[in-house]
Amino acid sequence: MRFSILNRDSSSRARTGILHLPHGDVPTPVFMPVGTNGTVKAIETDDLKEIGFNIILSNTYHLYLRPGEEVIEKAGGLHSFMNWDRNILTDSGGFQIYSLSALRKISDEGAWFQSHVDGSKHFISPEKAVLIQSILGSDIQMQLDYCSAWGASRKECEKALRITTDWLGRAINKWNEVTLDGKYSGSLFSIVQGNFFPDLRQQSAETCINSGTPGIAIGGLSVGEPAELFHETLSYTAAFLPEEKPRYVMGIGTPEYILNAIEHGIDMFDCVILTREARNGRVYTRKGPFALKKAENTFDFTPIDKECGCKICKEYSRAYLRHLFKTGEILYSMLATYHNLYFINELVTNCRNAIAEGRFLEYKKEFLSMYKEGNDD
């Protein structure tokens, strides 16, 4: 993997670049839709391409349980299996293990966990996480990490960081092994942990830098902490990371968080919120998100967003979309998902343009001023 930096904003750490990956170039900053089970819910791969996405995220934990890496291997890899000829980033399953705290046990060797599907017990090590992701054919794969919870004690966070550091070394060794014959060309990213202790964050960042991985992710954020602490920790952590490597913040997807991350030099982000909220009757506009399912939209024959250029806004009214939602029609989820993903991709594209023109902070201020005007939160 190569990363080229194209533009830098003069008044912030924002920058644009290009990720050169096995399945094509990816302009950054970039939002990655989440395709947990090998599909971004309620949207076809052709529509993802039409919107302009060149990379999506899939989940190792879920694909390992269903359909299993053996099925995907026989299909020729995840790209072939899901009919997606562009890039795929896969997480390691570490966050899912974290979220299943009542069903897992972590040791130095790896993590035992109980399947949320059928209750069966499984073990995943940093080596196994690398192997599964290489079978999937991930263009970017993540190391297995130990994410500690918001509010965890320093002792617990120190233990989690020690294990994450050890797992990184083991993951790199396994990655070197699986790429030796040249058949697999995906890259491995390290992950900064350390909870919300600044010195642990710095220690973890330095470990990731010294490991030599071609990209570095900032993990352990957006786990229930206050927004101010999120932004403070993100800013502090990002400042340690090298300029020449792509930086990835895991699990953020709202405009406020994305704009703040870009300001601090973050290049990549993902989240399920845009697609999940679409399916639940909430859509995003330049003047803020709103609940399409509300009765006030019953006789509203205007589009979701009059200034949006997506085909959904050109062809369908709020009244019709609300009708589809209230009657449980599958088409509703497809149309709303398309719109929300178009919205976020357009936002990130506009950010890239603003950075190139040297006016990112001006664009951020203008966008948020309008966005907060109609936000029904």
Which tens digit of pLDDT belongs to each residue from 50-77? 999 999 999 999 999 999 999 999 999 9
Give the other-Cβ count within 10 Å of 240's Cβ.
17
Please name the residue that has the structure tokens 């570095």. Answer: 216
Which of these is catalytic: 139, 145, 267, 270? Answer: 270
181 is catalytic: no
Residue 376 has a pLDDT of 55
Q: For residue 206, is pLDDT > 80?
A: yes
For residue 230, CA distances in Å to 171, 182, 198, 223, 226 come to 28, 39, 12, 9, 6
Structure confidence by residue, pLDDT tens digits, 127-138: 999 999 999 999
Cβ-contact 25, 54 below 8 angstroms: yes
Q: For residue 184, is pLDDT > 60?
A: yes
For residue 74, CA distances in Å to 61, 129, 210 come to 19, 19, 37
Q: For residue 187, is pLDDT > 60?
A: yes
Q: Over pLDDT 70: what percentage of the chain?
A: 99
* H-helix or E-strand spanning residue 276: helix 273-279
Strands (E), 22-137: 24-28, 30-33, 55-59, 87-91, 104-106, 111-114, 121-124
The letter for the amino acid at 53 is: F
Phi (first) and psi of residue 91, to 5 degrees: -80, 170
Its sign, for the CA torsion 43, 48, 53, 54, is positive
What average pLDDT does this structure show over 209-227? 96
For residue 254, CA distances in Å to 102, 144, 147, 285 come to 29, 26, 22, 12
Q: For residue 377, is pLDDT > 50?
A: no
Which of these is catalytic: 91, 139, 267, 305? Answer: 91
pLDDT band at 45; cut points 50, 70, 90: very high
47 is catalytic: no
Structure confidence by residue, pLDDT tens digits, 289-338: 999 999 999 999 999 999 999 999 999 999 999 999 999 999 999 999 99
Average pLDDT of every residue of the chain: 96
What average pLDDT does this structure show over 237-250? 97
Structure confidence by residue, pLDDT tens digits, 150-180: 999 999 999 999 999 999 999 999 999 999 9
Q: pLDDT higher for 373 or 197?
A: 197
